[in-house]
């Protein structure tokens, strides 16, 4: 049994892997995560654990994990099955590397673009020569709704749920459409920019908000909600043989 943990800025995701397959997955809020991980360590007793964190985690987490298993904390020094050509490897989000590893593992014959729709939206490009190049970082869906509310005097905080039409007919539907249709158009536009240079690009959509957008994208894409956790397991197996 192996445990992979993705400590994101909004949610903490974890999965137990056995024989290269996810046997159980978890999705915690920050408040639930430590207790949740204690519980799953006791239940599954993984021999090896990998942690990718782009947000601060409780210091006791590291102790808890390394006391019971071989622990890899993913960073720029971790041995990977891909190369890293990012100019600032020390400031690169570990989650972005794990996504690139997963895409290359699943689709090694392609230039891969992974689009992650989480707290932020990231575009992560790995050509088939396996040297991670970087991509783009832009505000995520909730951040866009919150920004319109917080940086204006009059705009309300609009929820994603509700009537979604291209032509907003009041303040609420105009904001929802601007944010949601805007993200969908942005994703297609970015894919098209990349495809001008890499015509056989393989695109995978992931992240907590991907289900909201997968059917709104005109380009052909794969949707894999577990891509990051799969990438972490590939890295863990690469390091613990």
Ligand X SMILES: Nc1ncnc2c1ncn2[C@@H]1O[C@H](COP(=O)(O)OP(=O)(O)O)[C@@H](O)[C@H]1O
Sequence-distant (≥ 6) Cβ neighbours of residue 240 within 8 angstroms: 2, 47, 48, 70, 72
DSSP 82: S
Nearer to ligand PAZ, 48 or 213 (CB): 213
**Cα 45–chain centre separation:** 26
Which residue in 54, 80, 98, 141 binds ligand PAZ (CB under 6 A)? 54
Q: How far is the CB of 75 from ligand PAZ (least distance, A)?
A: 12
> Which region, judged by CB under 6 A, interacts with ligand X, from 72-80, 86-94, 179-187, 202-210?
202-210
* φ, ψ (nearest 5 deg) of residue 137: -130, 130
Helix axis angle for 94-106 and 227-239, nearest 10°, is: 90
Of all residues in the shown chain, the one whose CB is closest to ligand PAZ is 93
User: Which 94-113 residues touch ligand PAZ, going by CB under 6 A?
Assistant: 95-96
Q: Is 198 annotated as a binding residue?
A: no
Q: Is 183 annotated as a binding residue?
A: no
What is the number of residues in the chain?
Answer: 241
Q: How many Cα atoms sit within 13 Å of 141 on the Cβ side?
A: 22
Site string for ligand PAZ, 127-166 (x = CB under 6 A): ----------x--x--------------------------
SS3 113: strand
For residues 101 and 74, is the Cβ–Cβ distance under 8 A?
A: no
Residue 208 contact among ligand PAZ, ligand X, none, beta carbon within 5 to 8 Å by kind: ligand X
93 lies in the binding site for ligand X (CB under 6 A): no
Residues tagged in the binding site annotation for ATP: 6-13, 119
Residues tagged in the binding site annotation for substrate: 86, 93-96, 171
């Amino acid at each position: 049994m192996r445990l992979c943990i993705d400590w994101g800025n909004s949610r903490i995701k974890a999965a137990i892997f056995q024989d290269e397959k996810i046997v159980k997955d978890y999705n915690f809020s920050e408040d639930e995560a430590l207790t949740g991980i204690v519980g799953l360590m006791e239940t599954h007793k993984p021999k090896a654990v990998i942690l990718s964190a782009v947000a601060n985690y409780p210091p006791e987490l590291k102790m808890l994990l390394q006391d019971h298993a071989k622990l890899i904390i993913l960073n720029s020094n971790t041995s990977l099955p891909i190369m890293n050509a990012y100019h600032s490897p020390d400031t690169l989000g570990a989650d972005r590397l794990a996504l690139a590893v997963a895409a290359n593992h699943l689709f090694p014959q392609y230039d891969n673009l992974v689009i992650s729709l989480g707290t932020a939206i990231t575009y992560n490009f790995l050509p088939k020569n396996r040297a991670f190049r970087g991509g783009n970082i832009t505000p995520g869906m909730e951040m866009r709704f919150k920004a319109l509310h917080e940086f204006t005097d009059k705009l309300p905080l609009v929820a994603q749920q509700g009537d979604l039409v291209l032509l907003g007919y009041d303040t609420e539907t105009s904001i929802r459409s601007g944010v949601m249709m805007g993200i969908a158009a942005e994703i297609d536009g970015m894919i098209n920019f990349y495809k001008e240079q890499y015509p056989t690009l393989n695109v995978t959509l992931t992240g907590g908000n991907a289900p909201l957008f997968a059917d709104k994208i005109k380009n052909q894409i794969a949707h894999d909600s577990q891509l990051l956790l799969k990438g972490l397991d590939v890295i863990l197996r690469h390091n613990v043989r």
